[in-house]
């Protein structure tokens, strides 16, 4: 699995994920489960929805590796 989420994208997904989960809890809605998906993609630095479009926001990062995001790509 190749990392395709950069630092900024990762941070925005994490913030949005937490916000969506909070809104889901406040309104007692299943909508909060979408936040879990955002947090998971942020954690693993991999978004399957990016694959068909060849989107890779990690290639603009200063460091040449994926970091400790858990994807294990070792770039």
The pTM (predicted TM-score) of the whole model is 0.77
Write down the domain spans for the chain. Answer: 1-47
Check whether 34 has a pLDDT greater than 90: yes
Closest CA to 14 of 34, 41, 33, 32: 41
Check whether 36 has a pLDDT greater than 80: yes
Average pLDDT over residues 18-42: 95
List pLDDT tens digits, range 39-57. Answer: 999 999 999 999 999 999 9
Average pLDDT over residues 18-37: 95
Question: Within a 13 Å sphere around the CA of 62, how many CA atoms are in the beta-carbon half?
Answer: 0
Alpha helix (H) residue ranges in the chain: 7-26, 33-44
Average pLDDT over residues 10-15: 96
């Amino acid at each position: 699995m190749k990392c395709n989420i950069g630092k900024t994208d990762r941070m925005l997904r994490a913030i949005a994920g937490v916000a969506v989960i909070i809104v889901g809890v406040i309104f007692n809605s299943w909508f909060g489960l979408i936040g879990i998906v955002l947090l998971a993609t942020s954690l693993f630095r991999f978004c399957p929805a990016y694959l068909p479009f060849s989107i890779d926001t990690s290639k603009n990062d200063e460091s040449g590796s994926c970091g400790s995001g858990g994807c294990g790509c070792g770039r």
